[in-house]
């Protein structure tokens, strides 16, 4: 059966809350219900543990049983890298091994316990890679299985945001920034190819953080001349953005209310259950 003809539950997970939405079946899905579920503070070593325990309880609630679940993991619980273009890597396994090595170089031995996924591998182009804790992935699978529901996909929130807004990145130099509380994820594209990918904390204000990452992307060289447009998906609401940041025109696109994020399905990054 086509995935469009199934109801679907979409849950965005962060350490503080779950944003939950139940979507109707059909090619033009409608949000039938949504809610915001707070997550109790925890002293657990894993920052995601309390959130996934809350998710497991939610999935047992008949009001949220659809049979098919999409879980999106917030930026503080995921990591990103942009792998340089390579003519020596040919297979998925080779690219994944390379990504594992690069994540370990940045984050140390803990990266060995991460589940990795790669974006589309285009010849002579950089490849985005994402990672989450493998234990988080296993815990989400278990929560779905125990509730009798199928995990359709598990992906970083930025993956879903990028897929939903990719069509808007039409200028020769375009960027997409996703803002969450205290966190920034930024992709810069040059003529529809990945140029830079940043995953950073916001320490001294949103505008300053965006400007710093855009300057760093420009410093890499190779950006074509012409208009530059920065699309900002703002879930933080912490700081009003100006119409321009440096040479970049800023277009702010506020996310929908809590949980109301259209499930688009990410062919590039989704971590599928395999079940």
Q: In which region does residue 221 sit, left (phi positive, over 0), alpha (psi from -120 to 50) or beta (all else)?
A: left
The answer to the question of residue 9 being in a domain is no
The answer to the question of residue 243 being in a domain is yes
The answer to the question of residue 131 being in a domain is no
The answer to the question of residue 226 being in a domain is yes
The answer to the question of residue 37 being in a domain is no
Give the residue numbers spanning the domain of 196: 161-254
The counts of H helices and E strands in the chain are 5, 14
The answer to the question of residue 64 being in a domain is no
pLDDT of residue 29: 76
Distance, CA of 178 to CA of 158 (rounded, Å): 7
Q: What is the CATH number of the domain that holds 189?
A: 3.30.420
Distance, CA of 210 to CA of 245 (rounded, Å): 8
Q: Which of 172, 188, 180, 181 is nearest to 231 (CA)?
A: 188
The answer to the question of residue 58 being in a domain is no
Number of domains in the chain: 1
List, for residues 238-272, the tens digit of each pLDDT value. 778 999 999 999 998 755 433 344 433 333 344 44
Over range 32-54, report the average pLDDT.
91
> Whole-model pTM above 0.85?
yes
The answer to the question of residue 153 being in a domain is no
List, for residues 39-49, the tens digit of each pLDDT value. 998 887 899 99
Q: Output the average pLDDT for the chain.
A: 87
pLDDT of residue 5: 62
């Amino acid at each position: 059966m086509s995935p469009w003809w199934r109801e679907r539950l979409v849950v965005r997970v962060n350490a503080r809350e779950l944003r939950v939405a139940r979507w109707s079946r059909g090619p033009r899905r409608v949000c039938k219900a949504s809610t915001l579920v707070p997550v109790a503070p925890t002293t657990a070593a894993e920052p995601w543990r309390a959130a996934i325990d809350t998710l497991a309880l939610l999935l047992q609630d008949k009001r949220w049983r659809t049979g098919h679940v999409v879980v999106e993991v917030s930026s503080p619980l995921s990591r990103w890298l942009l792998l340089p273009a390579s003519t020596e890597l040919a297979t998925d396994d080779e690219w994944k091994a390379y990504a594992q090595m690069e994540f370990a170089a940045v984050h140390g031995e803990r990266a060995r316990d991460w589940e990795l996924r790669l974006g589309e591998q285009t010849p002579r182009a950089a490849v985005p890679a994402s990672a989450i804790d493998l234990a988080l992935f296993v815990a989400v699978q278990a929560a779905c299985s125990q509730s009798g529901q199928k995990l359709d996909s598990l992906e970083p929130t930025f993956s879903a945001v990028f897929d939903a807004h990719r069509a808007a990145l039409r200028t020769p130099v375009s960027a997409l920034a996703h803002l969450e509380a205290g966190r920034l994820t930024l992709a810069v594209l040059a003529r529809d190819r990945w140029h830079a990918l940043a995953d950073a904390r916001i320490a001294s204000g949103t505008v300053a953080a965006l400007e710093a990452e855009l300057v760093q992307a420009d410093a890499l060289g190779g950006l074509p001349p012409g208009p530059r447009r920065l699309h900002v998906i703002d879930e933080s609401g912490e700081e009003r953005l100006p119409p321009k940041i440096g040479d970049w025109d800023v277009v702010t696109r506020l996310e929908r209310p809590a949980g109301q994020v259209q499930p688009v399905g990410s062919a590039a990054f989704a971590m599928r259950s395999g079940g």
